[in-house]
């Protein structure tokens, strides 16, 4: 398992972040580190994503990756900015193969057995189950994972403090991704103390149920 995925497995939670201004990056990192979760997936949904990844990668005290990577160009920008891992909403053969060629772990999204088998054919065994809750949540993931015991999943989409442990209780779940940990509106309103408390609460719940 690549080192980035080992770190993700240790943390068990990935804050999925939509960031609208690069200036939010460093105070966000401070909040995540102080809250006990030094990891962030910065999604390529805004123009600030690349700069935010670059700023976070320079710190050295947290693991930063790129999410919502849809194209080869975005993948290159993310990797060149210092992303240690790449996440995509779907399984795009070209993007997957490009990231593998650049020795960056990629976790593409899957929703069906066909998606899973495509990813397996590309040599991957860690996949994003997305959008998790909309697809049927824990019961669906249990059902779809049955034939694929070698696959580890990162469910993302609709994950909350209240349901994360249900997912993490499954042996084939590596970690969960969640946007609630560093919500976009909290960043926009400079509510970094709130983000720290939200992260700390999630880390505490993990610790008390591990």
pLDDT in tens, 72-105: 999 999 999 999 999 999 999 999 999 999 999 9
pLDDT at 2 over 90: no
For the chain, percent of residues with pLDDT exceeding 90:
98
Please check whether residue 130 lies inside any domain of the structure: no
Give me the number of domains the chain comprises: 1
Of the pLDDT bands very low, low, confident and very high (cuts 50, 70, 90), residue 1 is confident
pLDDT at 210 over 80: no
Respond yes or no: is residue 97 known to be catalytic.
Answer: no
- Helix, strand or coil, per DSSP, at residue 177: strand
- Beta-carbon contacts of 161 under 8 Å, excluding residues fewer than 6 positions away, are 180, 201, 202, 205
Please check whether residue 58 lies inside any domain of the structure: yes
Task: Kindly name the residue from 12, 41, 50, 186 that is annotated as catalytic.
Answer: 41
What value does the mean pLDDT take over residues 27-34?
98
Give the burial class of 152: count Cβ atoms within 10 A of its Cβ; 0-12 exposed, 13-18 middle, 19 or more buried.
buried
- Beta-carbon contacts of 82 under 8 Å, excluding residues fewer than 6 positions away, are 53, 54, 56, 57, 58, 64
pLDDT at 209 over 90: no
Residues 57 and 35: their CA atoms lie apart, in Å, by 18
Question: Each residue of 140-174: pLDDT tens digit?
Answer: 999 999 999 999 999 999 999 999 999 999 999 99
Task: Kindly name the residue from 12, 50, 128, 186 that is annotated as catalytic.
Answer: 128
Respond yes or no: is residue 41 known to be catalytic.
Answer: yes
Range of the domain at 22: 3-108+168-204
What value does the mean pLDDT take over residues 112-120?
98
Beta-ladder partners of 177: 14, 156
Please check whether residue 189 lies inside any domain of the structure: yes
What value does the mean pLDDT take over residues 110-124?
98
CATH code at position 16 = 3.20.20.70
Share the mean pLDDT of the chain: 97
The first and second tokens of residue 178, run together, are 């969640």
What value does the mean pLDDT take over residues 120-137?
98
Please check whether residue 135 lies inside any domain of the structure: no
């Amino acid at each position: 398992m690549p080192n980035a995925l080992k770190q993700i497995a240790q943390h068990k939670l990935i804050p999925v972040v939509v960031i609208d201004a690069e200036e939010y990056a460093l105070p966000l990192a401070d909040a995540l580190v102080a809250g006990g979760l030094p990891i962030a997936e910065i999604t390529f949904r805004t123009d600030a994503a690349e700069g935010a990844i670059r700023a976070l990668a320079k710190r050295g005290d947290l693991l930063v990756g790129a999410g919502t990577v849809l194209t080869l160009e975005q993948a290159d920008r993310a990797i060149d900015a210092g992303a240690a891992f790449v996440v995509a909403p779907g399984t795009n053969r070209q993007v997957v193969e490009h990231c593998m060629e650049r020795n960056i772990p990629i976790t593409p999204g899957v929703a069906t057995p066909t998606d899973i088998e495509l990813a397996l054919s590309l040599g991957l065994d860690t996949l994003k189950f997305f959008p998790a809750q909309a697809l049927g949540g824990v019961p669906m993931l249990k059902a779809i994972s049955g034939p694929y015991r070698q696959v580890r999943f990162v469910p993302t989409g609709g994950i909350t403090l209240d349901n994360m442990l249900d997912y993490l209780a499954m042996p084939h779940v590596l970690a969960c991704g969640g946007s609630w940990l560093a919500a976009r509106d909290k960043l926009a309103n400079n509510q970094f103390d709130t983000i720290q408390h939200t992260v700390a609460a999630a880390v505490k719940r993990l610790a008390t149920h591990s």
